Protein backbone atom coordinates (compact mmCIF):
# COMPACT_ATOMS: atom_id res chain seq x y z
CA UNK A 1 0.00 0.00 0.00
CA UNK A 2 3.04 2.23 -0.18
CA UNK A 3 1.67 3.66 -3.44
CA UNK A 4 -0.52 5.83 -1.19
CA UNK A 5 2.55 7.74 -0.01
CA UNK A 6 2.77 9.35 -3.45
CA UNK A 7 -0.59 11.00 -2.77
CA UNK A 8 0.32 12.51 0.57
CA UNK A 9 -1.14 9.72 2.69
CA UNK A 10 0.79 9.36 5.94
CA UNK A 11 2.83 6.22 6.57
CA UNK A 12 1.04 5.94 9.94
CA UNK A 13 -2.30 5.84 8.14
CA UNK A 14 -1.12 3.01 5.89
CA UNK A 15 0.14 1.05 8.89
CA UNK A 16 -3.14 1.61 10.75
CA UNK A 17 -5.15 0.42 7.72
CA UNK A 18 -3.06 -2.77 7.64
CA UNK A 19 -3.64 -3.17 11.37
CA UNK A 20 -7.41 -2.63 11.51
CA UNK A 21 -8.49 -4.07 8.16
CA UNK A 22 -8.33 -7.75 7.38
CA UNK A 23 -5.89 -9.07 4.80
CA UNK A 24 -8.55 -9.55 2.16
CA UNK A 25 -9.57 -5.91 2.30
CA UNK A 26 -5.96 -4.75 2.10
CA UNK A 27 -5.46 -7.08 -0.88
CA UNK A 28 -8.61 -5.74 -2.54
CA UNK A 29 -7.34 -2.20 -2.05
CA UNK A 30 -4.13 -3.18 -3.82
CA UNK A 31 -6.03 -4.76 -6.70
CA UNK A 32 -8.14 -1.61 -7.02
CA UNK A 33 -5.08 0.66 -6.95
CA UNK A 34 -6.06 2.54 -10.13
CA UNK A 35 -9.49 3.42 -8.83
CA UNK A 36 -8.17 4.21 -5.34
CA UNK A 37 -5.73 6.71 -6.82
CA UNK A 38 -8.41 8.25 -9.05
CA UNK A 39 -10.66 8.78 -6.04
CA UNK A 40 -7.80 10.30 -4.03
CA UNK A 41 -6.95 12.61 -6.94
CA UNK A 42 -10.58 13.68 -7.22
CA UNK A 43 -10.90 14.34 -3.49
CA UNK A 44 -7.67 16.34 -3.54
CA UNK A 45 -8.86 18.31 -6.58
CA UNK A 46 -11.96 19.49 -4.70
CA UNK A 47 -9.87 20.30 -1.60
CA UNK A 48 -10.87 17.49 0.74
CA UNK A 49 -8.25 17.69 3.48
CA UNK A 50 -8.92 14.63 5.66
CA UNK A 51 -8.36 11.85 3.13
CA UNK A 52 -6.35 9.88 5.71
CA UNK A 53 -9.40 9.77 8.00
CA UNK A 54 -11.64 8.71 5.14
CA UNK A 55 -9.23 5.92 4.19
CA UNK A 56 -9.19 4.66 7.76
CA UNK A 57 -12.91 4.82 8.34
CA UNK A 58 -14.51 4.53 4.90
CA UNK A 59 -12.07 2.52 2.79
CA UNK A 60 -14.97 1.16 0.75
CA UNK A 61 -15.48 4.63 -0.77
CA UNK A 62 -12.24 4.19 -2.69
CA UNK A 63 -13.62 1.14 -4.48
CA UNK A 64 -16.54 3.07 -5.97
CA UNK A 65 -15.90 4.22 -9.53
CA UNK A 66 -14.77 7.82 -9.41
CA UNK A 67 -17.44 8.92 -11.91
CA UNK A 68 -20.12 7.65 -9.49
CA UNK A 69 -18.58 9.64 -6.67
CA UNK A 70 -18.48 12.75 -8.84
CA UNK A 71 -22.15 12.27 -9.77
CA UNK A 72 -23.12 11.93 -6.12
CA UNK A 73 -21.08 14.93 -5.02
CA UNK A 74 -22.31 17.12 -7.87
CA UNK A 75 -25.87 16.81 -6.60
CA UNK A 76 -24.77 19.17 -3.83
CA UNK A 77 -22.97 22.45 -3.61
CA UNK A 78 -19.40 21.10 -3.83
CA UNK A 79 -17.88 23.89 -1.73
CA UNK A 80 -20.36 23.39 1.09
CA UNK A 81 -20.08 19.61 0.87
CA UNK A 82 -16.28 19.74 1.06
CA UNK A 83 -16.41 22.12 4.01
CA UNK A 84 -18.77 19.77 5.85
CA UNK A 85 -16.71 16.73 4.86
CA UNK A 86 -13.53 18.35 6.14
CA UNK A 87 -15.26 18.92 9.48
CA UNK A 88 -16.85 15.47 9.78
CA UNK A 89 -16.50 12.51 7.43
CA UNK A 90 -19.83 11.15 8.65
CA UNK A 91 -21.44 13.53 6.18
CA UNK A 92 -20.70 10.78 3.65
CA UNK A 93 -23.61 8.86 5.16
CA UNK A 94 -25.91 11.43 3.57
CA UNK A 95 -24.27 11.68 0.15
Distance CA 94, CA 58 (A): 13
Average pLDDT, the chain: 95
pTM exceeds 0.75 = yes
Burial of 28 per CB tally in 10 Å (0-12, 13-18, 19+): middle
Q: Which residues are within 8 A (CB) of 50 and not within 5 positions of it... i.e. 6 or more apart?
A: 85, 86, 89
Q: Domain boundaries in the chain?
A: 2-94
pLDDT in tens, 38-83: 999 999 999 999 999 999 999 999 999 999 999 999 999 999 999 9
Amino acid sequence: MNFLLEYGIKKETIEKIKEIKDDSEVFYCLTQKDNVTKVINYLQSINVKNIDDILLNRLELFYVPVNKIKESFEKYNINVLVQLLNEDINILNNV
